[in-house]
Chains A and B, each alone.
Chain A
């Protein structure tokens, strides 16, 4: 009798599982799963709930420009963006997303409150602030703010930078400077990033992370 009870219990468990709610699904190949469910159930494992990442290995997505997220997810889905971090973590995640899910994810993160709280500066903010707000005329470097906004808030396909994870910024500036083909959508940044010295990159990342 006992095996029968066990089998019945197991069958009930599977039936219960079959009645799963798409709003709590982790299926990446199911177009019925809404973007918010994917954000909460899957993306949050690296980018944090509501897009606030707890690891500086991964970017904050909260308050990011929807057009930027949309374009990046499409680029990752098509494997056109192939910087190491993008390929390792994101190719699989983006692989089966539908256009609608990408749009929902972009809208979800754009609507979340931006990262807040004090981030400890590692160096004198004046160098980074100068580069961000005024650029460096002698090297022909434009101000970051001229495209990314005075507050680093981004604009459409140009990403929000303010309060972004420092280590993520360092890595991406290195990619945009040294291997621009790995992020084809960021090609416009190559000419700028290539002019940045290592000290400039550190100063900029530090300033932006503390904005």
Chain B
């Protein structure tokens, strides 16, 4: 461990001298902005970020933040310009960039300070019962052309428009609402659901492909580019129920896919039902939530073609729990989620003989009819005085091996593992999978500093014990899981 820390320190000292100077410049420039520079919900309520976000760290919600969301973002006074923005500048470094036959292409942004992403938010209170949270995000590294040049792209991100009412009686308190949104579970107020179990910021994986934001996270087979309507109820701040369905985005909700290229959309057959339940307990300075969710979806292989013979059938289920101990100036959170996804493949993908062969030139097993993926993700975080904090998390993705998932292997013509385009079965370097096994495990440690409520500076280090099924030589080109260990330093700013 000491050796690792020493190595990290040395790399910081050498590789990041200039990038850190630039980040310091970003901080200094932001310091010059007025102290009232706060995003839209703050302007609406007049409250500090930490009223709604545990320890002031977005997006994790406090009990008050959860009620703000469930009551439709309607607390406060409507703002005249209901807009806010956030931007992330970051630098990341992969431990080993040598095991690639084209490092300049695979790690082109390594050790470079980049504008990692930027978002515009609109929303807040619209009427007494209607409010919105609309995010539109620019990814400077959304695509790469044949010459390796990156192209930026802006598109709809998480969106949630809801109607909510709260009925308070002599013995019961009931919040009722309906949400139109574009990401299953984005309407949920806890941060262990698929849409919110994340470290923020999450920059484009293209620029930082092995940082925590690119490691396995829960997600529904239906993807994030659909739209749906869910109804929810929260009784006595104890029992939460939400149910609804998602469909291919179109019609009046088409703005929820604004800017998304067709290739990035998820095209669903019919309605994909989503059900969520949770129990919430509060005592002392603690709250505990234990919940679960399930979703079933039929997804066309090609979003441009609604061909029923190409349907992927997903059944997702999860259990999650979140414990918070929030007593000023302390904010402690423990989170865990376990998910299971069953994926049945369409006929043209199941039972197929892979193009790769084994080391002796023999055919590999046919691809499976279905796969099961399991993900365990857990995280502990602590923030003091909404200023200094840190976290540790663990992730473990496992599941069935399937030759369909092999992206590296022996080429039947040359009998070697090669990336040559002339090969009958070219392999994928760096991100290749030689075994067809999805196993990826690791940990992330993070330390962060919030000099004031709309600026966060942090450093994360992500360690991998397994990647794409193996600890060693997972891509067939000698790359080990630990070669992907990544340092990520960022400055996150919101206005």
How far in angstroms is the closest Cβ of chain A from B164? Answer: 9
Question: Closest B-chain residue to A45, C-beta based?
Answer: B67
Chain A residues with CB under 8 Å of B77's CB are 27-30, 95-96
- Counting contact residues on chain A (CB < 8 A from B), the size range is 35 or more
Flag if B168 contacts A56 (CB, 8 Å).
Answer: no
From B46, B128, B129, B130, contact of A92 by CB (8 A):
B46
B251 part of interface (Cβ distance < 8 Å): yes
How far in angstroms is the closest Cβ of chain B from A165? Answer: 9
Chain B residues with CB under 8 Å of A45's CB are 63-64, 67-68, 75
Flag if B168 contacts A27 (CB, 8 Å).
Answer: no
Flag if A55 contacts B282 (CB, 8 Å).
Answer: yes
A78 part of interface (Cβ distance < 8 Å): no
A16 to B163, CA, bound (A): 10
Flag if B173 contacts A49 (CB, 8 Å).
Answer: yes
B59-81: which have CB < 8 Å to A?
63-64, 67-68, 71, 74-78
Chain A residues with CB under 8 Å of B253's CB are 6
Flag if A167 contacts B128 (CB, 8 Å).
Answer: no
A85 part of interface (Cβ distance < 8 Å): yes
How far in angstroms is the closest Cβ of chain B from A80? Answer: 16
B341 part of interface (Cβ distance < 8 Å): no
Known: A24-B166, A44-B173, A91-B47. A56 touches B285 (CB 8 A): yes
B327 part of interface (Cβ distance < 8 Å): yes
Flag if A88 contacts B50 (CB, 8 Å).
Answer: yes
Question: Closest A-chain residue to B43, C-beta based?
Answer: A92
Flag if A2 contacts B251 (CB, 8 Å).
Answer: yes
B172-231: which have CB < 8 Å to A?
173, 178
Flag if B252 contacts A24 (CB, 8 Å).
Answer: no
A211 part of interface (Cβ distance < 8 Å): no
A100 part of interface (Cβ distance < 8 Å): no
Per-residue B-contact encoding for A31-61, CB less than 8 Å = 1, 0 else? 0000000001110111001000011110000
**Tally of A-B Cβ pairs under 8 angstroms:** 121
Known: A3-B251, A24-B167. A29 touches B50 (CB 8 A): no
Flag if B251 contacts A29 (CB, 8 Å).
Answer: no
Flag if B127 contacts A20 (CB, 8 Å).
Answer: yes
A13 part of interface (Cβ distance < 8 Å): yes
- Counting contact residues on chain B (CB < 8 A from A), the size range is 35 or more
Flag if A56 contacts B128 (CB, 8 Å).
Answer: no
Known: A6-B252, A88-B47, A92-B76. A57 touches B326 (CB 8 A): yes
Known: A92-B47, A92-B76. A55 touches B166 (CB 8 A): no
B261 part of interface (Cβ distance < 8 Å): no
A184 to B252, CA, bound (A): 54
Flag if B128 contacts A44 (CB, 8 Å).
Answer: no
Question: Closest B-chain residue to A85, C-beta based?
Answer: B328
Chain A CB within 10 Å — which of B50, B126, B127, B282 has the most? B127
How far in angstroms is the closest Cβ of chain B from A55? Answer: 6
A171 part of interface (Cβ distance < 8 Å): yes
B313-367: which have CB < 8 Å to A?
326-329
Flag if B127 contacts A41 (CB, 8 Å).
Answer: no
From A2, A3, A18, A91, contact of B46 by CB (8 A):
A91
From B45, B63, B71, contact of A41 by CB (8 A):
B71
B34 part of interface (Cβ distance < 8 Å): no
Flag if B46 contacts A167 (CB, 8 Å).
Answer: no
Per-residue A-contact encoding for B423-445, CB less than 8 Å = 1, 0 else? 00000000000000000000000
B48 part of interface (Cβ distance < 8 Å): yes
A28 to B125, CA, bound (A): 11
Question: Closest A-chain residue to B286, C-beta based?
Answer: A55
A-B pairs with lowest CB-CB distance, top 8: A92-B46, A29-B77, A20-B128, A92-B47, A6-B252, A17-B127, A45-B67, A88-B48
Residues of chain B having any CB pair with chain A under 8 Å: 42, 45-48, 50-51, 63-64, 67-68, 71, 74-78, 125-130, 163, 165-168, 173, 178, 237, 251-253, 282-285, 287, 326-329
Ordered by A's residue number, 26 sampled pairs between the chains whose C-beta atoms are within 8 Å are A6-B251, A10-B252, A17-B126, A17-B127, A17-B129, A18-B127, A24-B165, A24-B166, A24-B167, A26-B166, A27-B76, A28-B76, A40-B166, A41-B71, A41-B166, A45-B68, A54-B283, A55-B326, A84-B328, A87-B48, A88-B328, A91-B47, A92-B47, A92-B76, A93-B47, A96-B77
